[in-house]
Amino acid sequence: MMEARAGEPQRTPMPEDFAALLRRQGHFPNLPTQAAASQTNFLQTQATTILAFKFADGVLVAGDRRATAGNVVVYDRADKVLEIDAHSLMAIAGVPATAWEMARVLEHSFQFYRRSQLQEMSLDGKVRALSKLLRDNFGFVMQGVGIVVPIFAAYDVGNSAARLYFYDAMGAQFEVADYAATGSGSAAVRSILYYENTWGKKPLQKWKHDDAVVLALQVLETAAEADTATGGVDKRRATFPIIKTITEAGITTLPEKTLAKIYKKQVG
């Protein structure tokens, strides 16, 4: 063992993982190392890109439809904007299998609370519930599987206000004032939303519904041009992004026929 020189801080040896401890003590000598175990040809299905921003009536949440595994397009009609209850949505970037399970757990948790307590869970409670699911999933993230980086959007009926949050993979929650975007195409999305919100004709929160929908389509088309993992509009297959809005009246999903008309008239 090397001794620390005078004046140098002592170095604490790195702790070994459980598999290394078993090998050192003579048990299971052929057990692979942690590094070797993490090296696999398994490619996870990933879903990107998602965005949300507040507009005059509430909050708009949108996501492209592409799911990829490495450089392979797995599916081009993935639903990345999931309804949790009458006034809240969860948009997913990351591994769909994990994210969809989180959405199901949230939905059932909110229903159980409503039926057992005879009242709605507070919005802050809903936000923290998703944060806990992400923290509980962090062990899988450290193993290189199951990462989810979602957006949570809701309308706070009691205060007549739209609320918007994004999270990191460890479950830290961040409330944003105007917009949020995550996923592989999010850099282009955030740039456009920042420009429109700061130097556009008016801030995003003053945009009318139809203008907000056009902007969402334009932004996702731009992201698809810059990022191969983001699926744009496929006019031949009539595949358009998922766009939902949350207002005081509840959640509205824009039909593909409506999106096709808007796209043809004002985007494409």
Half-sphere exposure of 255 (CA within 13 A, CB side): 3
186, 159 in Cβ contact below 8 A?
Answer: no
**Beta-strand pair 50-55/151-156:** unpaired
Cα 156 from Cα 246, distance rounded (Å): 10
What DSSP line would sit under 161-192, residue for residue?
Answer: EEEEEEE-TT--EEE-SSEEEESTTHHHHHHH
**Non-local CB neighbours of 1 within 8 Å, separated by 6+ positions:** none
Q: How far apart are the first and last CA of the chain?
A: 69
Is 48 designated active site?
A: yes
**Non-local CB neighbours of 217 within 8 Å, separated by 6+ positions:** 233, 240, 241, 243, 259, 262, 263, 267
58, 249 in Cβ contact below 8 A?
Answer: no
Q: CB-based burial of residue 211 (10 Å sphere; 0-12 exposed, 13-18 middle, 19+ buried)? A: middle
- 12, 45, 48, 247: the catalytic one is 48
Q: Mind telling me the catalytic residues?
A: 48
